[in-house]
Amino acid sequence: MLSSRWTPYLFVLPVLVGIGIFRLTPILVAIFGSLTGVSLMGESRFVGLENFTDLLADPDFWSSVHVTLLFNIIINPLQLVVAFCLALLVFRPMRGLWLYRTLLVLPMAVSTGLSAVLFGLFLDANLGPLNSFLQWIGVGIQSFHLSQNQALYTLIGIATWKGAGYWMLFLLAGLYAIPATVYEAALIDGSSAWQRFRHVTLPLMRRPMMFVLVVDTTFNFLFFAPVYILTSGGPAGSTSVLMFQAYQAAFTFSDIGRSLAISVILLVLILLIVMLEFRLLRSPGERQ
């Protein structure tokens, strides 16, 4: 018989080993790697915080931080609101609901890379049906991801198209988890539909919404494939998010130290913002 004191740890051990090898080790490697530089001869040496000081003095880096933050400030609330609206719309039973639910989660079946290729064709200025339609109604041809002003918003649209149905599922599950008795009590108290939504649904949806917001934030800070496929950070750096900068530093300019430094900064940035979100969405009575 194993001693009962160590048995729980034994059961958790496989997962801990997995997390240690596949999650924590890369982070440590990145942190140490960000303190090294590679010379022209290909030898890596310790450079201290040089990578970071270089970054902080680099206007490209700051414009990339600006782009990343702008992207996230728009896309995270947008996806949360759209997903919540969709969840509310497909919550209560009605005829043909299964069809709408199926259609709304369909983009989940398309890979991120493929959806970028699809929209590259769909929004094309010469061949795309959307531009054809826009010209037909008289708006005129838009260049979407090829224009400096529209590129970031195009990417936000594509990511929302892809993500909203997915996040809808979590919020829908949250809506189902609210007990019907709470609504009955509210009805007996003579509340209006808006009051039920504002004072019953919203407070009880706090946890699912917090989950979606936090996970969505981490996803969107690491948003990469559509940037790489559609815009390559352009035009004029207007979509050069930090992930793309990190990729470019490593695989275009072979500066692994700089790339890892950007990754570490990104990690710290995500941690800070997720902490901020936890703080903002904490219920008033809850203390931690």
Cβ closest to another protein, residue 116 vs residue 227: 116
Give least dist CB 132 to another protein, A: 4
Q: Which of 139, 141, 137 is nearest to 125 (CA)?
A: 141
Q: Which of 9, 22, 98, 136 binds another protein (CB under 8 A)?
A: 136
Residue 229 binding another protein, by CB under 8 A: no
Cβ closest to another protein, residue 120 vs residue 233: 120
Contacting another protein within 69-98 (CB under 8 A): 85-86, 89-90, 92, 94
Residue 251 binding another protein, by CB under 8 A: no
d(CA 8, CA 4): 8
Q: Which of 34, 131, 240, 248 binds another protein (CB under 8 A)?
A: 131
Size of the site for another protein (CB under 8 A): 30
The backbone torsions φ and ψ at residue 254, rounded to the nearest 5 degrees and listed phi first, read 50, 35
Residue 163 binding another protein, by CB under 8 A: no
Distances from the Cα of 273 to the Cαs of 26, 129, 147, 208, 216, in angstroms? 21, 39, 29, 18, 12
Stretch that binds another protein, among 12-20, 128-136, 202-210, 222-230 (CB under 8 A): 128-136
Residue owning tokens 């890369």: 26
Give least dist CB 230 to another protein, A: 14
Q: Which of 73, 103, 271, 275 binds another protein (CB under 8 A)?
A: 103
Residue 107 binding another protein, by CB under 8 A: yes
Contacting another protein within 165-184 (CB under 8 A): 165
Residue 106 binding another protein, by CB under 8 A: yes
Give least dist CB 171 to another protein, A: 14
Q: Which of 128, 174, 208, 226 binds another protein (CB under 8 A)?
A: 128
- Point out which residues bind another protein (CB under 8 A): 85-86, 89-90, 92, 94, 99-100, 103-104, 106-107, 110, 118-119, 121-122, 125-129, 131-133, 135-136, 141, 161, 165
